[in-house]
Each structure stands twice: as C-alpha cells, then as structure tokens.
Amino acid sequence: MTPKLTLNIKADDGAAAEANARVKSAAKKKADATETLSEAWTRILAMNNSESDQKRLIEVKNGMDAGLVGREPAAVSKKFSKAEALRLWRQLREQMRESTLRKMVDETPDNYWLITDERKLREFTLLLSKEDEIVFDVETTGVDVWNDYIVGHVITAVKADIHAYIPTGHKTDHKQLPKELVWKHLKPIYEDERIGKLAHNAKFDIHMLDRDGIDLRGLTWDTQEAMRMLNENETSFALKNLVTKYLKIPSLTYGDLFGQIGFDEVSDLKVALAYAAKDGDVTLKLRNFQREHLAKMPGVLEYFQTVEVPLIKTLVYMESTGFEIDKEYAKTYGAEMKADIERMKAELIQEFGDINIDSPAQLKPALERITGLTLVSTDAKKVLKPLAGEYPIIEKLLKYKGMNKLYSTYIGVLPELIDPRTGKLHTNFNQNGAKTGRLSSGGESGVNLQNQPYPARKLFIAPPGYVLLGGDWSQQEVRCLAYFTQEPTLLEAYQTGRDIYSSMASEVFGKPYEECGDGTFERKAMKTGVLASMYGTGPKTLGQQLGISEKEAKAFLADFFDRLPLVKKWIDENTKFVRKHGFVYMDGEKRKRRLPTALDRKATYGQKSQADRQATNARVQGSSAIQSKTTLNALYQLCQRKEDWRMWVTVHDEALNVVPESLTRADVADFERTMVNTYAFGNVPNKCDIEISRRWGEGMSVTEFFEGPSAVYREDYKTDESYEKRVRFVTANWQKREETN
C-alpha cells in the first residue's frame, strides 16, 4: 500500500502545481489587462535597454504624451511592449522628419541662396572672387569617392555672409544648372590659392572635386581635424553632433533627415537648400569657435595649420594612387594555401576527434583532454601561445589558425576588393586614427594597410615600368625616447652609429659590446625592455615575452631602470605631470593627449595606472607620428618636383613611393635626404633604411638594384616578354657573371 500512497501523493502534488500555475497565469493576465500605460512605461524604461533603445523609447513616450503618436490599433487589447514602442519610434521618426523638413524650409534665412540660373551664378561667382576665404562642401550620391558623384556645391562667401547651394544633379522637375556650366564658373575659384578654403572632412570633398578635374588649392582649415586637436576623446566628430554640442545649434544628422537615400534623391530643392546651406553656415561658426580656443595653445595651432592641414592634400594624393594587385599570384598562392589549410585541418581532426576545431565550445574540452590541463579559454595569444612550446598539437593548431586567418582575411579577399572602375585597390587614411595622432587606414571605405602581414604584402606590386622606393626610420620611437630622456647610453649609441640594443645590453648586463650582438638573449631582452619601458609592460607580460619567470622579469626591469636612470626619471615626470594636469604634450607642445582619468578621484587604481602608462606611450608614439606626418608632406613636395613619381603608402614608420624604374642614385639620395632631414629629434640623428622592390615585402638594397639583376635588365635587356621571363633571364645572366668573376 505504501507505494500506491506515494503515487497518489505525487499525483495530488502535480495537480496542485498545475492548478497553482493556472491561478498565477490568470493573475498575470488580469494584471496585464489592468496595467496602465504609465505603469507599462515605468516597466519598459526600467529594463536593461541599450543606450540607443532607451533614447528611442523616451522619444516615443514624449511623442505619446504630446499626442503625436498612439498605440497600434491591432495591439490595443494586448500588453504594451517594448517591441511595439520601438515600432512606434519608426512611425514617429517619419512624422517628425516631415515636420522638421517643413520647418527647415519655412525658417530658411534670407542669406541662404538657391542658385538655379546663370545670372545668379555669375553674381555669386563675382562675390567669391573678392573673398579672402570661403567654406566649401559638395553634396553627393553617396560616400564612395571612387564611384559616387557630385550633385551640388555648397559654398559660403564669408565676408558677404552668403551661404549658397548650387544643385546640378538632383532627380527633380525643378530647374537646376548644367554640371558643365557650374564647373566652368567654380573651377577658377576652387583652384585660386589666394582664396582660403575651409571645410569639414575636406579630404572627401577634395577627392570628389578631383574626380571632376578640379585641383582644390588654398585649404586653410578642416573643422573635423581641428576638433581632434581640441579634444581627441570626442565620441563623434560628425559636424551636426559637434555644432549641437559646442555651438548649441540644434542640428539633425543626414540620416535623421533623409535616411539612406543619396542627396540626389532629395527632389525638393528648397529642402536641399535648407540642409546644405546650413552646413556651410555652421562649419564657419564652428571654425571660428575652434580658432578662438586653439589660439590659447599657440604651439598646437601652429602645428595644426602647418602640418595637419597640408597633410589632407598629401593623403588625397596618396589615396588616389591606388594599389596594383597581382591577381594571378593571388590565385595560385591562394589555392596552395587553401590546400595546406584543408590538409592541416584534417590532421588536427584526426588527433582531436570528430569536432569542429573552429568552434571554441568544442575545441576547449578536446584540448583539455589531450593536454590534461584546465584552460580558461582557447584565446590564441593569452592561453595557447604560452603552451605551444610544450605541446606540439597546440603549435600545429596555432599555425592552422594563423594560415586560416591569413587566407580568409587577406589572400582570398584582397583581389575581391579591387574597384571595378579604377581597376585598383584603394584605402582610406584616417590622419588621426589613433588618439595619439598616429595614422590608421581602412574602415568601411578601404582596406586596412597598417596590419598587412608579410605574405599578404606580396600581393601588392608596382605597375609595369615602375618600382617601389621605400624607406623606414630605424628605431623611430627609441630615438624619440633618447631625445626626451637624454640618456647618455642612448645618445652615445646613436651618435657613434653603434647598435642601440647591443649598447644598452652591454651596459645593463655588464658584457662587452661584441658579445651582445644579433641573436643573443641580451640584445633581445634589451629590445623588449626598451619597448616595455615605453609602453608600461608589466613583469608578467615581459616574462612571457622573454621566456623567463615573473620574478626574473621584475628583477630585470629594476636593473634596467637602475642602469638607465634618466629613462626612469622621465617616465616618473610624465606620471607626475599627467596626474597634475590630466594631459601630456607631444614634442614641442605641438599637440596634447588628454587623459582625464588621471584627474578622476573616482577612478580605480587600475584606471589610474593605465593613464600613467598612456602618458609615456602617448609622448613617444605621438611625437613619432608628428615626425612621420611632417615628412609625408615633404615627400609630397618631392613627388611634385620629380617626373612621374607618386606617393604609394605609409605604415607607421615606413613610407613608399611608386617611381619610374629608370630612377637614378641621385633620385634615391633625394628621397633618403627627405626622410632623414625633414624632422629631427633634437640632437639624435635619424637613420633611414632604403629598399627598392617590384613586389611589396621583397625589397633589395640600393646597391643590389643598381648593380644586381635589376641593373642587368634595365641596361642590357629590352623585350616584350613577360615579367617572369625577364626576371629569370636577368637572374641567370647575373649568376653567370658572378661565376665568371
């Protein structure tokens, strides 16, 4: 009887639970039915919403309170949900957009001119010819500088206080001037260097004008880049956001007003005028605001005007060159790499078992089973790499992952990114991509060249009849460190031409210079130690890099700073300065790196320590970026003086030009002088390593180029045969000459 009793009890408990659930469900339905809209909003706004969702929800609530939008008819009988609220936001946005556009047109100032006839255009052009400076902007079909096109010109005549829009390519029934006529009148204005030009994100506009055969001259200000001088920590450098924040002029973004359409689809030209002319108006106001504040930092203002502003034209010039990609090589190399990847994957699966080795969830237990270790994760850098030397299977896995990333990110992708119109690969250089001022490249509008691994670089080639002339500063950031610290060991090494790391290793380890050469632990340790001092690397990470214990790494750092006391003193001074002022200066007070965390009393110890490290890193990296940018401008001027020279690319401390294969030693000397002499770090001499190549990453020395196989080809061999046949021919002849000699 006992088992039966037990069963009955369980059955009763189950029935009771089911009944209880029904009661709760009924109670919930009743609560939902009686929940007021106010209560619903309290519940929805208290959810863990993203920042953008919360902003939209508040807009909907305010819209409902104002009677601008109501609940969806089909959902009135249901509980008011976040999903419905966000659908209402889209409806409200459309209503607000139409209302805003009508208001913009109604409130268009009298000094906003819509120019749609030639007489008015001639009148305006005459005004412009008498101006000292103008604001310019172009409206386009999109943001692709290689394929989109101009549909109108925005120009502000500053002294005349006229903000004009000249439409040329809108899809509209309204009258607008022919593009060719506008080009004829505006080209002389754009190309007159005596008339100063200012813009927001001028690089884009200069590219678009260049596409139309207009070489803009006289650029004096870019409000986007000027704001990076004033506050590199801005969350947005979009014009509308900046003028709303700093000038208190409410300004909606293009997306807010027009969504995803190109400006050519704005058919109401009065709307186009109200939006476009305001861009010129607020850009001028923002420039005036920026100039007033930058004037309080004379060094920063001078640097901005003499380096950052000219750099915009330099980058346009470099981006326009584009990159030739060896598609045949990519195809062959890619096929070989793909086969290797599949082979390695099959071998790994055989060892791991039938798992998806690209899935961390499946890979982690398999690794733990094979190694007998408990792993935190399958992170390649932090977890697997330190174990690779001990476990061959992990070393093979890392090799597979590296090759797979190389293929999927570069080798298999780069040929697909070639622009169909230009036939070249292009990038976009962000001249202040890092907060220290260092350039970056890529983003949504171009390939990232800053992290192209060596195998991927081999896809980039010089055009037929040209070579790549490249130079990179030898130990740019360490020379900067020597300049700032005036550490005698560093200065002596650079002034005597001795290897810096060997010299420092000799000093720190107490060994003869000759015993600290390439390949020695002492030299490697010193190179790693110098970087650790500049970037604030801790003992744990340094130990992993050197293959020593954390305790040994800590002792190494202590000894390093004991023997190089001025380096330690300089780092301490940076820490003291940033904790007092919240920023540090780059070389000669040319720009600032603002680190507000250093002044934040609520910041944690870790956050304060990070600001301390960033202070030193910013001074070195930022000052090096100033040297690079100043030199890039000088290389641009050099290319203007040399026939058929083009700037090609810059990657951190490296710059390459595309030059005719017929270049001379004198040409190379001009290039080297520009690299070495344009910007010096005080009493620390620069050094630049020069290479010449036909394929990026496969460079030869200047001597090899002028005396090796390349010289044989250039002087003795003229043919229409393929490049590969020519290379084989000249290499064979060079080898014969060597054997004969």
- The DSSP call for residue 265 is G
108: amino acid identity, one letter: T
- List phi, psi (to 5°) of 529: -65, -40
Structure confidence at residue 526 as a pLDDT band (50, 70, 90): confident
Give me the residue label for tokens 């704005």: 266
pLDDT of residue 727: 44
User: How is domain 108-306 classified at the architecture level of CATH?
Assistant: 2-Layer Sandwich (3.30)
pLDDT of residue 543: 83
Distances (CA, A) of 5 to 12, 18, 354: 10, 20, 50
Which is nearest to 617 in space by CA: 501, 721, 535, 694?
535
Cβ atoms 265, 171 nearer than 8 A:
yes
> Is residue 720 over pLDDT 60?
no
pLDDT, tens digit, for every residue of 533-587? 788 888 888 887 787 888 988 888 888 888 889 999 999 999 999 999 999 999 9
256-276: average pLDDT:
94
707-713: average pLDDT:
67
pLDDT above 70: percentage of residues in the chain? 91
Question: What is the per-residue DSSP string for 203-258?
Answer: HHHHHHHHHTT-----EEEEHHHHHHHH-TT-S---HHHHHHHHS------HHHHH
- List phi, psi (to 5°) of 358: -90, 0
* More reliable by pLDDT, 284 or 697: 284
705-712: average pLDDT:
75
**Strands (DSSP E) found in 421-491:** 429-430, 440-441, 460-461, 466-473
Domain parsing of the chain, residue ranges: 1-28, 35-97, 108-306, 324-426, 488-563
SS3 assignment, position 718 = coil
Tokens standing for residue 213 = 């055969």
pLDDT of residue 559: 85
pLDDT, tens digit, for every residue of 619-665? 999 999 999 999 999 999 999 999 999 999 999 899 999 999 999 99
Cβ atoms 284, 135 nearer than 8 A:
yes
User: How is domain 324-426 classified at the architecture level of CATH?
Assistant: Up-down Bundle (1.20)
Give me the residue label for tokens 């962000």: 430
**What distance in Å separates the CA atoms of residue 354 and residue 363, rounded to the nearest whole number?**
10
> Is residue 107 over pLDDT 70?
yes
Which is nearest to 311 in space by CA: 646, 677, 626, 624?
626
SS3 assignment, position 151 = strand
pLDDT of residue 10: 45
**What distance in Å separates the CA atoms of residue 588 and residue 117, rounded to the nearest whole number?**
52
Q: In DSSP terms, which residues pair with 398 in a beta bridge? A: none
445: amino acid identity, one letter: S
> How many Cα atoms occupy the beta-carbon half-sphere of 690 within 13 Å?
20
> Among 30-34, 354-358, 520-524, 541-545, whose mean pLDDT is lowest?
30-34
Output the average pLDDT for the chain: 89
700-722: average pLDDT:
66
421-433: average pLDDT:
93
444-473: average pLDDT:
88
Question: What is the per-residue DSSP string for 517-556?
Answer: -TT-HHHHHHHHHHHHHHHT--HHHHHHHHTS-HHHHHHH
Tokens standing for residue 520 = 């020695």
pLDDT of residue 342: 95
Cβ atoms 216, 207 nearer than 8 A:
no
282-298: average pLDDT:
98
> Among 70-79, 402-411, 491-500, 659-668, whose mean pLDDT is lowest?
70-79
Orientation of helix 239-246 relative to helix 269-294, angle to 10°: 60
- The DSSP call for residue 564 is S
> How many Cα atoms occupy the beta-carbon half-sphere of 731 within 13 Å?
6
Q: Helical H runs in 295-411?
A: 298-303, 309-321, 327-352, 360-371, 392-406
Cβ atoms 631, 439 nearer than 8 A:
no
**What distance in Å separates the CA atoms of residue 237 and residue 95, rounded to the nearest whole number?**
27
Element (H, E) at 32: helix 2-34
Cβ atoms 490, 533 nearer than 8 A:
no
Residue 715 CB contacts under 8 Å (≥ 6 apart), including other chains: none
Tokens standing for residue 576 = 């003291």
> Among 141-145, 254-258, 288-292, whose mean pLDDT is lowest?
254-258
pLDDT of residue 450: 78
pLDDT of residue 739: 45
Most confident of 28-32, 217-221, 381-385, 391-395: 217-221
